[in-house]
Structure 1
């Protein structure tokens, strides 16, 4: 059946009628929505909405993550044929998933950007739909968390990252991809005691009491121990999972703005994400994929896999 479908399927982003099921469209052609899901703004009957935020004006080093959503969507075409590996269900068959498209914003009016993003996510959540966001630089998590905390209360943040992003910054109007989780904690959007950072390998003297499993800890103790510790910390609390692609070692994800050696291997990240099944996840994002520095496309591929794992974690509760 797959071969017959492949012979007739094209531009599934626009032509598919069902919100569920695989796509057998040629990976090298057609419109590149995420996993060939339908592009639509209609949230009726939808379980999960993929959305892009093409914003990178908060970076401190190399730019380019504004091109991340497009690259991640293109890379995801490789995954649209088969059920995600290692899961006991196929999220594409189980859940109604759409590509909600990108946030529209005025690139020249940066101060207006955070509120526009919060409203964008707020609209998705108001329809009782979960969001998975493709960044963009990591600042975008802060406006997103505002919408999530409005709906679910203070969130448990599970953060995969090379950097804590909790450097002190009491100016809530500053737009910086290294201070937004400081602001999220100080604003009451994130419960630090029920949150956890994974893969950290840069120095910050004050992480605001957020438990940290740094990269060396994961290497020495392994993914299974990391999963056990994460689940102990977050319990049944509502979780927002944010995955900065620089949480991976540059050997696996060179296309990012602030690469740091000694990071997680891709197999470790995959094992941790899959074994987190059952946490009370409400939404998530994958950020900091920078195509101009991704000469082989490996970083975008990793980003597409992370986004798919987020779909599976969300879909676990919808089986």
Structure 2
């Protein structure tokens, strides 16, 4: 087996192709190098490349608790990037939606690598077109339900609001884990009034892993579920390479422990967003992002019969 620093950098060393092969459940990794919707630090357009590069250290061995690897029971492949159109937000998001829809139509689930959090909107558009309104499990420092400017309503702080307004997600089956950013009172009230459940980072610290997992399961139930994982949910002391760092976040081990216990949910898609390599140090944020994606894939693999 080649060492992890050799060869072309696909996610987890998966083959680079555009469609499923064989009869195993298929998952396509799709890059979305888009950061036209950020409000603070640019640079998350470089996230997919950084995540792919470091992901190769996760290959060759199994998940320490689950005892398997994604390639064991999945047809895992890297479908490349949904290429953005420079300075064209609408066109870029349409390209992400189309690329996702093509993979879903081919029978694959999609793990998307961002990119700023705006990309979740077209990902949800494509997912809801196939599955109907989905439950949303959102790890995030921010609620992302701001309204945006009338001339620019779509950005990385508005995608959850827009997803609710457009019927892409069920707000009463939506749970936001690890919230710890400042938020306007009217935005917080709008979110609560729609029935969204919010768990602060402090509540996760105080309540513990098992209680947090129970609350997520209670909100999601048996609905088709979509995971969106914003790396800024983690305290910037452990994940500095993000667009909008917020002090007081989760520990990386907490987020991974919670995710690992959610293998019984009906996962239909996922994204890992807001990795911003220009502000990263020693690739620690990219390593975390890759590990989140790898962990989610291990959950899917564990759901399949050996």
Compute the TM-score of the two structures, normalised by the length of structure 1.
0.89
Of 252, 260, 268, the residue aligned with 2:238 is 252
2:212 corresponds to 1:226 = yes
Q: Higher strand share goes to which structure?
A: 2
SS of match in other structure, 1:166:
coil
- Equivalent positions of 1:97-116 (< 5 A) are 97-116=76-95
Aligned-pair CA distance for 1:129: 0.6
Cα gap change, 1:37 to 1:74, in 2 (>3 Å): same
RMSD of the TM alignment (CA)? 1.5
SS at match of 2:179: coil
Select the structure with the greater relative contact order (CA < 8 A; seq sep ≥ 6): 2
1:282 counterpart SS class: strand
Residue 74 of structure 1: aligned partner: 53
Match of 2:31 in 1: 52
Paired residue total: 296
> Is the 1:169–1:182 Cα contact (8 Å) retained in structure 2?
no
Instruction: Say if 1:246 and 1:258, in contact at 8 Å, map to a contact too.
Output: yes
- Relative to the length of structure 2, the TM-score reads 0.93
Give the distance between the partners of 1:74 and 1:170, measured in 2 at CA: 36
CA distance in 1, matches of 2:163, 2:61: 37
The residue that corresponds to 1:39 in the other structure is 16
Conserved? CA contact 1:283–1:314, under 8 Å? no
- Which residue number in structure 2 is paired with residue 317 of structure 1? 303
Query: How do 1:1-319 and structure 2 match up within 5 A?
Result: 6=1, 25-45=2-22, 47-169=26-148, 174-202=153-181, 203-204=183-184, 205-206=188-189, 207=191, 208-319=194-305
Question: Tell me, which stretches of 5 or more residues in structure 2 are unaligned?
Answer: none
Per-residue deviation at 1:173? Answer: 6.4
CA distance in 2: counterparts of 1:109 and 1:287, whole angstroms: 20
Contact 2:124 2:168 in 1 (8 A): yes
Quote how far apart the aligned CAs of 1:316 are: 3.1
- Superposed CA deviations along residues 27-47 of structure 1, whole A, max 9, x for unmatched, are 222211101000111323361
Q: Quick one: distance in 2 between partners of 1:213 and 1:110?
A: 31
Offset of residue 62 of structure 1: 0.4
Distance 2:6 2:69 in 1: 24
**Stretches of 4+ moved more than 6 A in 1?**
none
Q: Is the 8 A contact 2:148 2:157 kept in 1?
A: no
Q: CA deviation at 1:172?
A: 9.4
